[in-house]
């Protein structure tokens, strides 16, 4: 139910024209919305706290359950706001009323509202973390289930005893995986029932409960900076793809842009460094967080269809017809399989494909062992790369790897038409960002102006 909570003009409806300058809007300020004829759902916002004088690095949605917004909610919200987080307090019961008590339809409308609040506050549109420290935990889980790609993670306290608004009967373990990364805080010696799900784990509250809560929140909020699309209009069909834009078209003219599929850690520092340099060289980057995009399995045909949709939108919006494709680690694993299914029009405009640290075997969804160096599936990446190069018509293809990375498939592939580039270092290529970008630009033939910028000249 995408438009149940309409984000338009929400500052006006809540009588908060100074939101962007406010430190905190405490519970009750939203009650003015009840008198507005078109305010369905907006009065669920109880508190908005915007960091002052510091960068906003994350967004928290802090739910209040049947007992309402308490001093504990307020204290935790205030601390998070002082720690670079935009905090939106939400009355769970009112929010549920706004969607006709339909827990299954709550996630998308809530995410849209949070995006509008971020825009009004002038902060980056980071994917929010869902937080519940009372009996709104099942409501937070319902939001994650219904729009998992829109959220970064979930923090609850004692999920087994913290359900009251949605009365979910089970943890929805149809495929044995949590809808998002999930930390459930439990008492000393207790075991969390959510641990039956992959991607979820219990955290002991043996230490100070607040410190444990803050540590858990930031372990989720501090990773995967994706879903910042403020710089470019985004089509509704693409709203559930976790995108980060790196757009610096004014830096240099050109006809090329890039789509970059990240590693399984999400849109992280390595991806940002590469994307920033490409953008500075006049090649805007549409970054995709594999962590959330491939949280659930997507077959190569589905990935190809999404790449096609992205290209149809961004080639027009950015005014660039040539496409540079880049994948890192897990993203580099799945990209060759997807490219076997792209349409001829897109195929003919691919300026090049850069595969950074691809592994030998892969699956098509996030597997937690992959973060520990284990293979994430059984599909042979090398065979897919050989097929990709053999097909032709896709521009040049490069396989970039670190000499110390024993898991990379690149050294195994001695085939005509594949450019293998070795770097000192391991999986992150010794963090040789400038050299990586120089090669990508040269491969794509973006011209001397872009190459000069990438060289820092």
Please count the other Cβ atoms lying within 10 Å of the Cβ belonging to residue 245. 20
The pLDDT score that the predictor gives to residue 240 is: 73
CA distances from 408 to 261, 332, 360, 361 (A): 17, 11, 6, 10
CA distances from 233 to 209, 228, 247, 305, 319 (A): 41, 11, 12, 20, 13
The pLDDT score that the predictor gives to residue 323 is: 97
CATH 3.40.50.1820 range(s) for the chain read 41-222, 236-454
| 274 within 8 A of 326, measured Cβ to Cβ | yes
The model's pTM: 0.69
| 264 within 8 A of 376, measured Cβ to Cβ | yes
Give the pLDDT confidence of 145-187 residue by residue, as tens digits.
888 888 989 999 988 766 677 866 666 555 688 888 999 999 8
Write the burial class of residue 39 (CB in 10 Å: 0-12 exposed, 13-18 middle, 19+ buried).
Answer: buried
CA distances from 391 to 260, 305, 367 (A): 21, 19, 30
The pLDDT score that the predictor gives to residue 126 is: 83
Question: Which residues of the chain register pLDDT less than 50?
Answer: 1-40, 226-227, 229-231, 370-374, 448-457
What does DSSP say about strands 361-362 and 379-380: parallel, antiparallel, or unpaired? Answer: antiparallel
| Residues in the chain, total | 457
CATH class label, 41-222: alpha beta
The pLDDT score that the predictor gives to residue 232 is: 53
Q: What percent of the chain clears pLDDT 70, i.e. is strictly above it?
A: 79
The pLDDT score that the predictor gives to residue 410 is: 98
How far is it, in rounded angstroms, from Cα 78 to Cα 95? 22
What fold is seen in the domain 236-454?
Rossmann fold (3.40.50)
């Amino acid at each position: 139910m995408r438009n149940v909570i309409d984000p338009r003009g929400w500052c006006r409806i809540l009588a908060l024209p100074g939101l962007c300058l406010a430190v905190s809007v405490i519970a009750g300020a939203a009650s003015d919305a009840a008198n507005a004829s078109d305010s369905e759902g907006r009065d669920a916002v109880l508190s908005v706290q915007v960091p002052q004088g510091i960068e906003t690095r994350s967004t928290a949605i802090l739910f209040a359950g049947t007992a309402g917004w308490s001093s504990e909610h307020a204290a935790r919200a205030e601390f998070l706001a002082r720690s670079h987080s935009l905090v939106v307090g939400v009355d769970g019961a009112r929010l549920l009323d706004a969607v006709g008590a339909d827990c299954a339809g709550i996630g998308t409308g809530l995410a849209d509202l949070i995006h509008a609040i971020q825009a009004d506050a002038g902060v980056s549109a980071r994917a929010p973390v869902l937080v519940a420290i009372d009996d709104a935990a099942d409501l937070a889980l319902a939001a994650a289930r219904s729009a998992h790609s829109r959220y970064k993670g979930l923090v609850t306290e004692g999920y087994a005893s913290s359900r009251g608004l949605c009365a979910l009967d089970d943890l929805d373990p149809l495929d044995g995986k949590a809808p998002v990364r999930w930390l459930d805080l439990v008492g000393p010696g207790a075991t969390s029932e959510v641990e039956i799900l992959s991607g979820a784990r219990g955290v002991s509250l043996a230490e100070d409960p607040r410190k444990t809560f803050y540590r858990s929140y930031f372990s989720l909020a501090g990773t995967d900076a994706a879903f910042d699309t403020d710089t470019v209009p985004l089509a509704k069909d693409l709203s559930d793809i976790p995108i980060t834009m790196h757009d610096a078209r004014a830096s240099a003219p050109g006809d090329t842009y890039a789509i970059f599929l990240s590693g399984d850690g999400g849109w992280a520092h390595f991806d940002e460094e590469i994307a920033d340099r490409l953008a500075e060289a006049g090649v805007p980057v549409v970054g995709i967080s594999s962590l959330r995009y491939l949280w659930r399995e997507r077959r190569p045909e589905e990935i190809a269809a999404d790449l096609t949709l992205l290209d149809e939108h961004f080639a027009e919006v950015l005014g660039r017809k040539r496409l540079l494709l880049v994948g890192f680690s897990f993203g580099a694993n799945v990209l060759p399989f997807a490219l076997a299914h792209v349409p001829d029009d897109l195929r003919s405009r691919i300026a090049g494909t850069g595969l950074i640290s691809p592994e030998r075997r892969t699956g098509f969804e996030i597997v937690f062992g992959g973060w520990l160096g284990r293979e994430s599936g059984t599909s042979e990446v090398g065979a897919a790369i050989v097929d990709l190069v053999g097909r032709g018509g896709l521009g040049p293809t490069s396989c970039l790897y670190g000499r110390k990375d024993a898991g990379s498939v690149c050294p195994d592939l001695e085939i005509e038409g594949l450019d293998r580039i070795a770097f000192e270092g391991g999986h992150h290529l010794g963090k040789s960002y400038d050299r990586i970008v120089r090669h990508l630009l040269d491969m794509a033939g973006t011209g001397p102006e872009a190459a000069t910028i990438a060289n820092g000249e």
